[in-house]
Amino acid sequence: MITAKRKTGLIFFPAYDWEISPTHPERQERLLYTQDQVMEEGVLDIEGIREFKAGFATEKDISRPHFCVPDVDSRITLSHNISAGGCIEAARLVLEGAVDNAFALVRPPGHHAMRVVQGARGFCNINIEAVMIEWVRKNYPRIKKIAVIDTDCHHGDGTQDVYWHDPNVLYISLHQDGRTLYPGSGFPEEFGGPNALGKTLNVPLPPRTSDEGMLYVIEHFVMPVLKEFGPDLVINSAGQDNHYSDPITNMAFTAGGYARLNEILSPHICVLEGGYSIEAALPYVNTGIILALAGVDYSYVREPDLNPMRIKEDPRIIEYIKGLVDRLLEMWRARDSYEVPEEGVLSERSRSLFYDTDGISENQKEVIRVCRQCPGAFKIDSFATTGYRIAGIHLPWGACPACREQGLKWFEKPGRENYYAVYLQDMDRDEYTVKLT
Amino acid sequence: MILGIDVGGTHTDAVCIDRGKVIAGAKALTGPDLVQSIHEVIDALDIEYTDIRRTILSTTLSTNSIIEKTFEPTGMIVSAGPGIHPSNYFLTGDFHLVAGAIDHRGREYIPLKRDEILGAARELKAKGIRGVGIVSKFSVRNPVHEAGIFSLIEKDFEHVSSGHSLSGHLNFPRRIHTTYFNTAVMPVQRRFVHSVSRALNELGIRSQLLFLKADGGTYSESAADKCPVETILSGPAASMMGGLALCSDPGTTTLVMDIGGTTTDIGVLIGGVPILEPKGVSIGGSKTLVRGLKVVSVGAGGDSCVSLKGREIVVGPNRQGPPACLGGPSPTPMDALSVLGSFPKGDKDKACNAVKEIALALGRDIRDVSKEIVALMISNIKESAREFLDEVNRYPVYTIYEMLHPEFVEPKQIMAIGGPAALLQPYLEDAFRMKCIVPEHATVANALGAALARTTTQITLMADTQLGKLICPELGIEEDASSSLTMERLKSKGIDALKKHIASQGFSGHIEVSVLEEQTFNIVRGFSSAGKNFRLKLQTKPGILDEWSVR
């Protein structure tokens, strides 16, 4: 009999009755072979590893990080309620002390979903980590600082967007270089909003990066930054598409590498994101991650077709990564010395977004009040090809009186007449209001 | 006539049933020689044996053999491949790990090495080992490695069993445990069956001999010969089946409690069926794949020892002997019931003296203390029942449909059987706030449960149309799967095979097959469908023979 060093909770919700389409990568049997492997290995019989039921995320839970247009119900399916609810359950288990860490092996994924949800992007409708994080902040106010380490192969542009202005949520993404893969973003220059500089960190890795390169970034960049940031809660967005066998990416990470990554990172919560090599990678990667979380020897877990020599990185890749890490560390250390506008200034950014899964285009204009006292109130003007034009106003956790006043003023007078609706997120009061105009 | 015998740890019970009615019941003490005890209890029934056409036995033989580790040295030959290291599951020093690996879809990726297996067999044989268990990882997806090892070593050993034939479930560590125990108890079971058959013959009983399994169903002598491990924990299964047989409205969700001297076994009936342990039962701290009823055993019975821990009264979890009023060494709940006037048997003075010691130490009234003792015993039972139900209601589900349609298990009544059941009935009703039924024949309910249990089987069918394979590990079916296979066709094939299998065990009654699990998935290559993956689990549910309709 094996006893785990750490108590690990597993929320397994494969949603065997949900798919984007029968042959889409995000399809019903995505976690089937993972379940087979985990069951055959007897992982759930290990003393200390326990499986728990998923839960439901409510409309309010989803409204905390999102402006769903026109409303929450029309943007999601029940499977999203449960996949986000599974994450919440994982967080609850950890924060109640029932387990030391937890893994939400749920689908559908969420890290491409941004604050404004006009449709589905990159197979994601709502951001399941963000729903979980906001639930944690609401229910466990002692959790002040949260770090999300996103190891999905695609840049988690959704999570980056939700926390772009939040100095208390550190978002670090390791991903295949955006010049070679969807969604085409995630460069070092994307460094956080004016009130949260350095709290968004991007590590674009060259194609064919394997274990050595990934683990170098974790050990020499992520860990020192985390140590300095001092989070109360560490979350791994555990996408598994960096795997050498993944059909839609070009990296060369292994199951053993993923396990080692989680051993080093030792997150409180892992959330499954992408990963579409459902037979050749997921069964082994997930087994490895669960064992690493529980502190059980994973060194014999490996893929049947693993050939370490064939996937080893070219030395030039390692050199490149070392240089990249040096540069990122320099940026991180200098994060407080960058020039930002004066307090009270309204800083603007405009951008065009594309919802690839649903084929929707959106134009956004965002205004944030530069603030030293709180994360800053902001307003987003969003206009999509669906015909919906909305304004969303966000009053952050711990909003200062000036930002609260500014936010409420925006809500009162959003600046245009033709909005379908104006949304207000008042985090401290946990009130989420929609005003149809 | 049907003869049901339950050989328990303390007592051996027997009942004889004719045309749906109990015509005789008897109890005897269980001695070291189980066959002798069986002989005695049949004698005590005092009936005409010649009409008996079915004899069903539930015994503690294999359970005790495993828990007390009295079985003979048994070898294991196991192929695993990558994963959690199998050394974690070495239950014996005679465990040989050999090369070979199969993946989750049943594709071989590391072949067996013939010489290595023959070497392991030679080594085991040289040690005088007679029984060997064979297991490979994912053998239920493709038994080729287990079959390969079997054909190489079969002739050299008397008892050989292979993992895939014992259960179609995935779980490599449990498969190892199950196969090891199955092989280990084979010789004990064979000797026992031989002696029982002879004893029954001597008595003039020429009936079919069946055994009760952990899942509350019966199987034939020949099936028990191949899979003796399934008889483990048949005692609690007999209790649950007895409770089911005696329940007048089994459709109501019912907590079944078998209150014995040492322990109380708790299970639940839902829709007239006792619920099963989802992954398999545990024995002696080892988890197995043996299909069994979900029963929790709590150390609170009529003879549980009552003691003081500081100023706190503690009931159980051990039994030191019979109650003080029956000459035992320490006070028990039965003595408390005697003080309260509910238990008429035995020496009430002795009961009072035993409880008085505790009352004096606490400076309290003896009746008051007696009430507390009974209440504590009941609250131990209630606590375990609550945990049991919590666990059942926490079972994870994997589809949106199941999330939206949770089946919340909430019993509406209690069915109490076993010696002290009748005495505790008012206390149980009070504590649980629900009706508590103590049926007629409650004291021999276990034997009754064994006598009336139907034949049960569970099989797993897997078809992978991309690989063109169809397999049913339990029945040894392996054939080609055509690309036009449908779930409907697989189901009718499975039902036929299952019915044939049950009929081959001499069961002639109506067989009702139900679907336990059914899944169909696409196998996608690139972005188009390359085949289908069908998974089907069929069973015959545990239940009571039709002729027991008199209720």
Parse chain B into domains and list their residue ranges: 457-540
Chain A, 241 to 280: residues with Cβ < 8 Å from chain B are 247, 279
Residues 6+ apart with CB under 8 A from A227: none
Chain A, 80 to 99: residues with Cβ < 8 Å from chain B are 82
The two beta strands, A269-272 and A233-238, are parallel
* Mean pLDDT per 10-residue segment, chain B (551 residues): 90 91 90 91 88 92 91 96 92 94 95 98 97 98 97 97 95 97 96 92 90 94 93 94 92 93 92 90 94 93 93 91 92 95 91 94 94 96 95 81 80 93 95 95 92 92 94 93 93 94 79 87 81 92 81 49
Among the partner-chain residues B83, B403, B529, the one whose CB lies closest to the CB of A300 is B83
Q: What is the DSSP track for B156-190?
A: G-SEEEEGGGT--S--HHHHHHHHHHHHHHHHHHH
Q: Give B523's strand partners.
A: B531
Is B109 within 8 Å of A15 when comparing Cβ atoms? no
CB < 8 Å to B101, chain A: 304
Residues of A annotated as catalytic are: 112
A32 touches chain B (CB under 8 A): yes
| pLDDT score, position A114 | 97
Rg (CA), chain B: 25
CB < 8 Å to B401, chain A: 17
Looking at the predicted structure, is the pLDDT value of residue A63 above 70?
yes
The arithmetic mean of pLDDT across residues A252-266, rounded, is 97
pLDDT grade for A113, boundaries at 50, 70 and 90:
very high
| pLDDT score, position B526 | 73
Specify the amino acid at residue B212: L
**Tokens of residue B354, six digits:** 């035993």
Looking at the predicted structure, is the pLDDT value of residue A334 above 90?
yes
Residue A331 CB neighbours (<10 A): 16
Q: Which residue has the higher pLDDT, B247 or A204?
A: A204
Q: How far is B390 from chain A (nearest CA, A)?
A: 12
| pLDDT score, position B370 | 96
CB < 8 Å to A54, chain B: 396, 403
DSSP state at residue A25: S
The arithmetic mean of pLDDT across residues A202-214, rounded, is 97
| pLDDT score, position B549 | 65
**Upstream peptide bond of A207 is cis (omega within 30 degrees of 0):** no
Q: Name the residue among B190, B123, B197 with its Cα closest to residue B161.
A: B190
CA dihedral B201, B204, B208, B210 (to 10 degrees): -70
The complex's ipTM works out to: 0.92
Is B533 within 8 Å of A32 when comparing Cβ atoms? yes
Among the partner-chain residues A22, A45, A52, the one whose CB lies closest to the CB of B287 is A45
Is B82 within 8 Å of A291 when comparing Cβ atoms? no
The two beta strands, B264-270 and B296-298, are antiparallel
Q: What is the DSSP track for A124-169?
A: BSS-HHHHHHHHHHHH-TT---EEEEE-SSS--HHHHHHTTT-TTE
Q: How far is B103 from chain A (nearest CA, A)?
A: 8
Residues of B with CB under 8 A from a CB of A: 81-85, 88, 101, 103-105, 109-110, 137-138, 169-174, 279, 285-287, 394-401, 403-404, 519, 521-524, 526-529, 533
Q: What is the DSSP track for A280-333?
A: TTHHHHHHHHHHHHHT---TT---TT--HHHHPPPHHHHHHHHHHHHHHHHHHH
The helix/strand/coil state of A376 is coil
Closest-CA residue of chain B to A80: B400
CB < 8 Å to A18, chain B: 400
The position carrying tokens 């409880």 is B355
Q: Give A148's strand partners.
A: A171, A235
CB < 8 Å to A78, chain B: 400, 403-404
Q: What domains can be seen in chain A, in order of their start residue? A: 3-335 (3.40.800.20), 346-436 (no CATH)
CB < 8 Å to A297, chain B: 84-85
Burial classification of residue A402, based on how many CB atoms lie within 10 Å of its CB (0-12 exposed, 13-18 middle, 19 or more buried): middle
A48 contacts A4 by C-beta, under 8 angstroms: yes
| CA distances for B185 relative to A112, B64, B344, angstroms | 56, 10, 43
pLDDT, tens digit, 9 for 90 and up, residues A361-383: 999 999 999 999 999 999 999 99
Among the partner-chain residues B83, B279, B395, the one whose CB lies closest to the CB of A41 is B83
Q: How far is A15 from chain B (nearest CA, A)?
A: 5
